[in-house]
Copies of this chain bind each other. A is one copy, B any other.
Amino acid sequence: MKDYTFEEFKHDLQNNNIKKPDAILAIARGGLTFAHHLAEKMNMREVFSINAISYDKDKKLDSINIFNIPDLKDYENILVVDDISDSGDTFIEVLKVLKETYPNKNFQTIAIFYKPTSKFKPDIYFHETNEWINFFWEVY
Contact = CB atoms under 8 A, between A and B. Distances in A.
Interface of A: 6, 10, 13-14, 26, 28-29, 32-33, 35-37, 39-41, 45, 47-49, 51, 53, 67-68, 70-71, 136-140
Contact of A49 (B13, B28, B139): B28
A123 to B, nearest CB: 21
Contact of A67 (B36, B40, B71, B137): B71
B41 A140 contact: yes
6 contacts: A32-B47, A36-B137, A37-B140, A41-B140, A48-B68, A51-B70
A25 to B, nearest CB: 10
Q: How many copies altogether?
A: 2
A72 B58 CA distance: 27
A51 B51 contact: no
Contacts of A32: 26, 32-33, 35-36, 39, 47, 49
A139 to B, nearest CB: 7
Contact of A68 (B10, B13, B35, B70): B70
A40 B71 contact: no
B40 A140 contact: yes
